[in-house]
A and B are shown apart, each in its own frame.
Chain A
């Protein structure tokens, strides 16, 4: 079955710097890759996603890139702000698996003012 690895597990940056979180997946049939942000004690919130027919997608300060050949995808946050501090999860899903999401282990991002 699908396996998703996420790195790093913790990331600390200065306000205004960029942050990059990377994920790799194992199932070449995976074709949907969402990113979620989870604040302490709350449910995850979808922040951006990408499908396998697209290499890059941007939404204001966040972007996601996908390399299907290497089976990895990354989340890029530019001009980080203290409110970006949270745990970020990547996930992968294959249509032939009924849309089940397989999650990475999470990255705790800390943005220091």
Chain B
């Protein structure tokens, strides 16, 4: 059963703690992406990676960090420097760089209090 998995579905943290969101894909896709979605808004790009061991900042990278040590995995860390971390986080992947069709995971809803 191929696809993108994100875990956990719901995550709760106290303010000041770092938290890491998991994203795994078994589609053999080269490119992976992290988006943030706030209520009533579109998706905003946080980070993306076109190949293993390489990644670029998106439009709202401040307060976030990523790694891409394996093709299948692209974890996102929300650091304590992120001022408004409560949001719905979506991971996506596409076959290769410049191949536009992006497929999304089910998302992780992070709540920080």
Nearest opposing residue in chain B for A99, CB measure? B98
User: B1 at interface (Cβ–Cβ under 8 A)?
Assistant: no
Taking a contact as CB atoms under 8 Å apart, the answer to whether A46 and B45 are in contact is: no
Taking a contact as CB atoms under 8 Å apart, the answer to whether A32 and B42 are in contact is: no
Q: Interface-forming stretch among A12-20, A57-65, A67-75, A101-109? A: A101-109
Chain A count of residues within 8 A CB distance of the other chain? 24
Contacts of B31 in A (CB 8 A): 99
> Chain B's nearest CB lies how many Å from the CB of A26?
15
> Using a CB-CB cutoff of 8 Å, which residues 70-113 of chain B contact chain A?
90, 92, 94, 97-107, 109
Taking a contact as CB atoms under 8 Å apart, the answer to whether A99 and B104 are in contact is: no
Candidates A41, A43, A95, A106; contact of B104 at CB < 8 Å: A43
Contacts of A89 in B (CB 8 A): 42-43
User: A78 at interface (Cβ–Cβ under 8 A)?
Assistant: no
Nearest opposing residue in chain B for A104, CB measure? B42
Contacts of A45 in B (CB 8 A): 104
**A-B residue pairs, 9 tightest by C-beta:** A43-B104, A103-B42, A32-B100, A103-B43, A99-B98, A105-B42, A43-B106, A44-B104, A43-B107
Q: A46-B101, A99-B31, A104-B42 are in contact. List 18 more A-B contacts (CB 8 A).
A: A4-B42, A9-B40, A34-B100, A36-B104, A43-B4, A44-B43, A46-B102, A46-B103, A49-B101, A98-B97, A99-B100, A100-B58, A101-B45, A101-B102, A103-B42, A105-B42, A106-B40, A106-B41
CB<8 Å pairs between A and B, sample of 12? A34-B102, A43-B92, A43-B107, A89-B43, A93-B100, A98-B50, A98-B98, A101-B43, A101-B100, A105-B42, A106-B40, A106-B41
Q: B-contacting residues of A (Cβ < 8 Å)? A: 4, 6, 9, 32, 34, 36, 41-46, 49, 89, 93, 95, 98-101, 103-106
